[in-house]
Amino acid sequence: DAMVIQNPRYQVTQFGKPVTLSCSQTLNHNVMYWYQQKSSQAPKLLFHYYDKDFNNEADTPDNFQSRRPNTSFCFLDIRSPGLGDAAMYLCATSRDLGGETQYFGPGTRLLVL
Amino acid sequence: AQSVTQPDIHITVSEGASLELRCNYSYGATPYLFWYVQSPGQGLQLLLKYFSGDTLVQGIKGFEAEFKRSQSSFNLRKPSVHWSDAAEYFCAVGASDFGNEKLTFGTGTRLTIIP
């Protein structure tokens, strides 16, 4: 089945130690998104890629970076995680922009010690 | 900019009873509207969506939603809930204007089912 895959499902890192979260998709969608979701809150969009074009949300901290080496993969890099970065990170894809349906992966829960 | 309000943070319903979850949106043009469900520790699953046309939309798992432009609402309904429906439900509005193509989520409604 076509899907959005996130690895790992759980990630523990130390305060200040860089961490990378991975997302892959078999849907061949043009757009890939990264959301941060803290406990009992709505998902918050960090950034998205339309093909190779990177679009950062205005309030996304510089500590968060992303890479999309090809259509299928997208990475979220947190350069120096703080305790406040502990959250669920959700990857999503859509065929196009403009309100197209987004398909979500299962998420990676990040714990910062 | 678009916004979504889900006025009910938490709803408790008896198994077999009917359900309505409220969603109000704000957006200048015709919106794209979505309902997603999230089980604990999981990603979001699309229940249904409204793009245009018939204002009553059928989704998966027996859910439906009705778009009411005059009330800026997109409420989710189910005639008879099952224990497996216990989850967090998010309403979202998709913008279509160039440079603002993204989903904005409401803060969610947690649904608890009691026997």
Q: Can you tell me the mean pLDDT for B32-37?
A: 94
Would the pLDDT of A99 be above 80?
no
Per mean pLDDT, which range of A74-78, A93-97, B56-60 is the poorest?
A93-97
The overall average pLDDT reported for chain B is 91
Query: Is A101's CB within 8 Å of B46's CB?
Result: yes
Average pLDDT, chain A: 93
Say yes or no for a CB contact (<8 Å) between A104 and B44: yes
Above 80 in pLDDT, residue A1?
no
Q: Which residues of A touch B (CB under 8 A)?
A: 4, 6, 33, 40-43, 45, 48, 88, 90, 92, 97-107, 109
DSSP assignment string, A85-110 = G-EEEEEEEESSSSSPPPEE---EEE
Interface probe with A: pick from B30, B101, B104, most Cβ of A within 10 Å: B101
B5: amino acid identity, one letter: T
CA distances from A85 to A24, A79, A104, B103 (A): 22, 11, 20, 22
- Report the range of poorest mean pLDDT among A12-21, A33-42, B81-90: A33-42
Q: Are A30 and A95 in contact (CB under 8 A)?
A: yes
B98 band by pLDDT with thresholds 50, 70 and 90: low
| Residues A107, B43: C-beta atoms closer than 8 Å | yes
Indicate whether B29 pLDDT > 80.
Answer: no
Ranges A78-87, B16-25, B91-100: which has the least confidence? B91-100
- What pLDDT is recorded for position B15? 97
B22 in Cβ contact with B9 (< 8 Å): no
pLDDT in the model for residue B57: 95
**Mutation to test the A interface, candidates B103, B104, B109, most A Cβ within 10 Å:** B103
Place B63 in a pLDDT band, splitting at 50, 70 and 90.
very high
- Cis? peptide before B40, omega within 30° of 0: no
Map residue B107 onto helix, strand or coil: coil
Task: Centre a 10 Å sphere on the Cβ of residue B2 and count the other Cβ atoms it contains.
Answer: 20
Cβ–Cβ pairs < 8 A, chains A and B:
52
The pLDDT of residue A54 is 93
